[in-house]
């Protein structure tokens, strides 16, 4: 579960108030699109949820962790409960697809048996089973995105945050990716997808959270073209 | 940490050396040059010290005893001299030996000596050598205070020059070694910082998936140690080669013995210590540099988050 209560975030260097009196609650197992213009506060929200940034005021709870009161040494443990897909993929260039995905399990000291079982499974889930030994530079944009998704999923996280995951792929792949995220959500993982692609949001429908100037200006469930068609 | 994770991180460290070979090579070169700068300065210092030591060993002090001192008393004085700290060698120089030596040196005056018959005017004496000539004054004072010692003869001016040379050399060598160490540390620190900085993206990804600081630092530690060890190994080989070549060259032209400095230490005598010092210092500095730079980077990143 994600819950933010009256959160304020101001960047000291610029004095810009990125989030002001921001409140939001996303229940376990939900799928929500977070939309908004550039500079609306979406990236700040993600940084806040990943504990890369601290709130100046308010309360932030993610997966049962109180991020405001969290001690520094607890941060790695907390981050292991979240899977993140970044817009720029953030794959380690010197590691193969297999190693990039397995790295998350290495971090949590997972047994080799589990790594050998789980990594090929998530690779097949995203259709990368034949690319295990490839380096990120040898993959297409879509494949890199799927590798990033596999890495986010391998640890079976309670919350999956996707930051503009469709930003660098063609529309067809973008729709496939959201379908994949929807499928993951159906298995019980909470998914928070930040996007600019309003067209796609309208197509899929569901819970839409619109942020503008650091505030939630719209938060409703709408029926998408896909839903209406059903 | 499980053994499998430990093995994984060590393997990562080894892999990273190859994967980041450009920066690894830069670190290796910097470490190699730094180690050699400090190493050669140290070798230069210990050799100059050994040469001065060799000259010092040639110092000789003669302790003249009072005329008429009994043989028993002469032996007692010998024992007393041996018990004085800083005296390394005590040899009795009897008046008979002294008289014979004098006769040999002044063979033009044989008739004069013959006219003396058995009447030997010379006293018994001891030839002594001191271990540390900087303490010569104290040693002479202690020697002069022994009853039945008439006079102590020592090469004062020569000792003064040697003591002063050693003092200046120690200060100079310490300053050079310290300067080399500082320069080396600055260069190493900048190179490792650049190496870590070039991989800041990788570090930030590791952090975002929940890697602890120690998990991130460990492969850097291994990587730094491998670089340092390799640099130490090459520094050993290069030093060995250049040292032997230089000693060979000086020996071939008899330069050292010509100028009276025959006490250069053969490389074989110090090879083990030089090798160990290079390997340990290389590994330690390499690992420490990497860990500190990663630590600073992680701290800086945390502060900017």
ipTM for this prediction: 0.77
Tens digits of residue pLDDT in A104-134: 898 888 888 999 999 999 999 888 989 999 9
Q: Are B3 and B212 in contact (CB under 8 A)?
A: no
State whether B302 and A72 contact (CB < 8 Å).
yes
Residues in chain B closer than 8 A to A72 (CB atoms): 302
Least confident of A71-80, A107-116, B3-12, B106-115: B106-115
User: Region B212-233: what's the mean pLDDT?
Assistant: 88
Query: Is the per-residue pLDDT at B105 higher than 50?
Result: yes
Among chain A residues, CA nearest to B302 = A52
Least confident of A182-191, A220-229, B33-42: A220-229
Residue of B280, B277, B258 lying closest to B46 (CA atoms): B277
State whether B212 and A111 contact (CB < 8 Å).
no
Tens digits of residue pLDDT in A5-33: 999 999 888 888 889 889 999 999 999 99
Residue B174: the pLDDT is 84
Q: Are B81 and B113 in contact (CB under 8 A)?
A: no
CATH of domain B60-154: 3.30.70.3040
Query: Is the per-residue pLDDT at B44 higher than 70?
Result: yes
Tens digits of residue pLDDT in A58-116: 999 999 999 999 998 899 999 989 999 988 888 988 889 999 999 889 888 888 899 99
State whether B212 and A76 contact (CB < 8 Å).
yes
- Give the closest of B208, B211, B213 to A90, CB-based: B208
Specify the length of chain B in residues. 305
Residues in chain A closer than 8 A to B213 (CB atoms): 76
Query: Is the per-residue pLDDT at A225 higher than 60?
Result: no
The C-alpha of A172 sits at a distance from chain B's nearest C-alpha, in angstroms, of 28
Tell how strand B149-153 and strand B61-65 pair up.
antiparallel
User: Region B170-180: what's the mean pLDDT?
Assistant: 81
DSSP-derived letter for residue B138 is H
Select the residue from A81, A109, A136, A149 to test the B interface by mutation, using most B Cβ atoms within 10 A: A109
Confidence of residue B259 (pLDDT cuts 50, 70, 90): low
State whether B5 and A109 contact (CB < 8 Å).
yes
Q: Is A62 helix (H, G, I), strand (E, B) or coil?
A: strand
Residue B175 sits at the vertex; the CA angle it makes with B277 and B276, to the nearest 5 degrees, is 0
Tens digits of residue pLDDT in A201-217: 888 888 999 998 888 98
Residue of B141, B137, B140, B153 lying closest to B93 (CA atoms): B153
The C-alpha of A187 sits at a distance from chain B's nearest C-alpha, in angstroms, of 21
Residues in chain B closer than 8 A to A90 (CB atoms): 201, 204-205, 208
State whether A109 and B8 contact (CB < 8 Å).
no
Query: Is the per-residue pLDDT at B168 higher than 70?
Result: yes
Tokens standing for residue A158: 């309670």
Report the 10 Å Cβ neighbour count for B22: 9
State whether B210 and A111 contact (CB < 8 Å).
no
Residues in B whose CB is inside 8 Å of some CB of A read 1-2, 4-5, 8, 15-16, 19-20, 201-202, 204-213, 215, 302, 305
CATH fourth-level superfamily of A2-81+158-229: P-loop containing nucleotide triphosphate hydrolases (3.40.50.300)
What HEC string does B51-72 produce?
A: HHHHHHHCCCEEEEECCCCCHH
Among chain A residues, CA nearest to B202 = A92
A53 touches chain B (CB under 8 A): yes
State whether A94 and B19 contact (CB < 8 Å).
yes
- Give the closest of B1, B20, B305 to A53, CB-based: B305
DSSP-derived letter for residue B266 is P
Residue A227: the pLDDT is 46
Select the residue from A92, A154, A160 to test the B interface by mutation, using most B Cβ atoms within 10 A: A92
State whether A111 and B202 contact (CB < 8 Å).
no
Among chain A residues, CA nearest to B21 = A94
pTM above 0.80, yes or no: no
List where CATH 3.30.70.3040 sits in chain B: 60-154
Query: Is the per-residue pLDDT at B47 higher than 60?
Result: yes
Residue A82: the pLDDT is 92
State whether B211 and A94 contact (CB < 8 Å).
no
Confidence of residue A193 (pLDDT cuts 50, 70, 90): very high
Domain ranges across chain A: 2-81+158-229, 92-156
């Amino acid at each position: 579960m994600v819950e933010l209560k009256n959160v304020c975030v101001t960047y000291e260097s610029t004095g810009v108030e990125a989030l002001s009196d921001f409140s939001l609650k996303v229940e376990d197992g939900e799928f929500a699109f977070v939309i908004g213009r550039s500079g609306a506060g979406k990236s700040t929200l993600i940084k806040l949820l990943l504990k890369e940034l601290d709130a100046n005021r308010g309360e932030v709870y993610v997966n049962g962790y109180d991020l405001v009161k969290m001690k520094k040494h607890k941060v790695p443990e907390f981050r292991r409960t979240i899977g993140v897909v970044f817009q720029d993929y953030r794959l380690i260039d010197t590691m193969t697809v297999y190693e990039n995905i397995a790295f998350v399990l290495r971090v949590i000291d997972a047994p080799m048996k589990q790594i050998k079982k789980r990594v090929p499974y998530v690779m097949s889930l995203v259709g990368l089973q034949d690319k295990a030994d490839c380096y990120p530079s040898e993959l297409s944009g879509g494949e890199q995105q799927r590798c990033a998704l596999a890495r986010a999923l391998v640890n079976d996280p309670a919350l999956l945050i996707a930051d503009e995951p469709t930003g660098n792929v063609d529309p067809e792949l973008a729709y496939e990716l959201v379908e994949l995220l929807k499928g993951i959500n159906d298995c019980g993982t909470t998914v928070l997808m930040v996007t600019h692609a309003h067209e796609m949001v309208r197509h899929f429908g569901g819970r839409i959270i619109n942020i503008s100037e650091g505030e939630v200006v719209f938060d409703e469930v709408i029926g998408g073209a896909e839903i209406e068609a059903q | 940490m499980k053994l499998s994770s430990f093995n994984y991180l060590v393997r990562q460290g080894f892999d990273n050396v190859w994967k980041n070979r450009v920066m690894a090579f830069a670190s290796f070169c910097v470490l190699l040059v730094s180690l050699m700068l400090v190493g050669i300065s140290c070798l230069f210092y210990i050799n100059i010290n050994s040469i001065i030591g060799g000259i010092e060993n040639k110092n000789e002090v003669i302790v003249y005893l009072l005329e008429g001192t009994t043989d028993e008393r002469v032996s007692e004085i010998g024992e007393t001299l041996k018990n004085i700290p800083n005296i390394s060698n005590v040899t009795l120089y009897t008046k008979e030996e002294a008289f014979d030596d004098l006769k040999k040196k002044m063979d033009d005056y044989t008739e004069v000596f013959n006219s003396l018959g058995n009447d030997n005017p010379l006293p018994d004496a001891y030839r002594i050598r001191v271990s540390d000539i900087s303490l010569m004054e104290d040693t002479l004072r202690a020697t002069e205070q022994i009853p039945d010692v008439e006079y102590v003869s020592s090469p004062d001016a020569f000792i003064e020059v040697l003591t002063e040379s050693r003092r200046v050399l120690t200060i100079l060598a310490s300053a050079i070694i310290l300067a080399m160490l500082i320069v080396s540390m600055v260069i190493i620190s900048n190179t490792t910082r650049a190496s870590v900085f070039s991989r800041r993206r990788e570090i930030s990804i590791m952090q975002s998936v929940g890697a602890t600081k120690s998990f991130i630092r460990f492969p850097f530690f291994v990587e730094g140690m491998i670089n340092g060890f390799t640099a130490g190994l090459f520094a050993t080989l290069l030093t060995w080669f250049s040292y032997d070549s230089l000693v060979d060259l000086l020996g071939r032209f008899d330069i050292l013995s010509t100028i009276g400095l025959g006490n250069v230490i053969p490389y074989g005598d110090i090879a083990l210590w030089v090798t160990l010092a290079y390997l340990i210092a290389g590994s330690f500095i390499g690992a420490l540099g990497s860990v500190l730079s990663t630590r600073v980077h992680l701290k800086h990143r945390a502060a900017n988050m």
